Amino acid sequence: MAGKDTKIEKVVLLSGGNPQIAKGEGDAPVQAYINAMPGWKSDVGRRVDALIESAVPGVHKAVKWNSPFYGIKDHGWFLSYHCFDRYVKVAFFRGASLHPLPPGTSKQKDVRYLDIHEDDDIDETQFSSWVKQASALPGERM
């Protein structure tokens, strides 16, 4: 189309296919991250984002350290996720306080993980429960 700016910025994918997205507050940088997630991971990102928004209306979003973060404004962050070669790793910052415990352990005593692989079905009821529980706990200040 003549007269239109058709410049498309190419997103750099870091180790494991994690998108390099400039840090920023709000939904726009998170959506840019999700849109840049390679292949099937973008669908996982969209689903996780929608489940979080549904479980915690008005959730605060940001991109920090090339990862989307979700929290409660002035309360701290409760969740983040990151792309790896074969899965998307969801981090619950106070996951050791969730019931039942998310399956992935961490070297940090409070953190628990959920790894989502390409052919995994997300247990949306359980995931939403973890998100609601996590959002009610004291958040991380970062």
Residue 122, CA atoms < 13 Å, CB-side half-sphere: 25
Q: Which residue has the tokens 């990151």?
A: 82
Residue 2 lies in a domain: no
pLDDT in tens, 93-124: 999 999 999 999 999 999 999 999 999 999 99
The CATH number given to whatever domain includes residue 38 is 3.90.1150.200
Radius of gyration of the chain (CA): 15
Residue 61 lies in a domain: yes
Name the residue range of residue 57's domain. Answer: 15-136
Q: What spatial distance separates the first Cα and last Cα of the chain, rounded to whole Å? A: 43
pLDDT in tens, 50-79: 999 999 999 999 999 999 999 999 899 999
Residue 84 lies in a domain: yes
Residue 62 lies in a domain: yes
Cis, peptide link before residue 102, omega less than 30° from 0: no
Please state the domain count of the chain.
Answer: 1
Which amino acid, one-letter code, is at 6?
Answer: T
Residue 1 lies in a domain: no
Tell me, what DSSP letter sits at residue 10?
P
